[in-house]
Amino acid sequence: MTDKGIITLERTLVLVKPEAIDFRYDFLERVDAVAERIFDRKLERVPAQVWREHYLQFNGKPYFEPMVRDFDGRPVHVAVYGGAEGTIQRIRDVQGKTRPWEAVAGTIRGDFRDALVARGVVLKEDLGNGYFLVRNFIHASDSPESFIREAGVWGNFLGIDLINVGRN
């Protein structure tokens, strides 16, 4: 809430990544339970360039290109959620720790990691020299600033103004 008593709307971009696309409805049901609004949802096959822009901060790391190749052309469920202050944190709490093997039961990553491993998903692929490709199967923006950057990337790809969704 602002100092004038106006409720601030937090928005976050949620991506169900390719390795978990078959579980998207189970994941999104959990996110739905902690968010106040769902603004948009789409299932799309996503080219490498979108992933390069989304994960730009990792460019130059040994896992960057393997990660982009892993996602290239595969389906992703893109959703924008919103709600009052704290929505981003609630969604990230439901998502669980970034490394699925550290996520606790009751979180998406904690509850679904074994099912994904049973389907052949390698959660931690050794790339050598101490680097790993981590497959964590869901993403949510970690801050309002991250949402703005990510919504620009994904909005351009989808042809939707995701930055201003929910502001009308």
Is-contact 148 136, C-beta < 8 A?
no
pLDDT, one tens digit per residue, over 86-109 is 999 999 999 999 999 999 999 999
CATH 3.30.70.141 fits 10-158, yes or no: yes
Residue 137's pLDDT is what? Answer: 94
Q: Which residues of the chain have pLDDT under 50?
A: 1-3, 6
pLDDT in tens, 127-144: 998 999 999 999 999 999
Query: What is the model's pLDDT at position 52?
Result: 97
Contacts of 2 (CB under 8 A, 6+ apart): 8
Q: Which of 12, 139, 153, 154 is catalytic?
A: 139
* Catalytic-residue membership of 139: yes
pLDDT of residue 167: 65
Q: Where are the domains of the chain?
A: 10-158
Q: How far apart are CA 165 and CA 162, in angstroms?
A: 5
User: Quick one: pLDDT at residue 5?
Assistant: 52
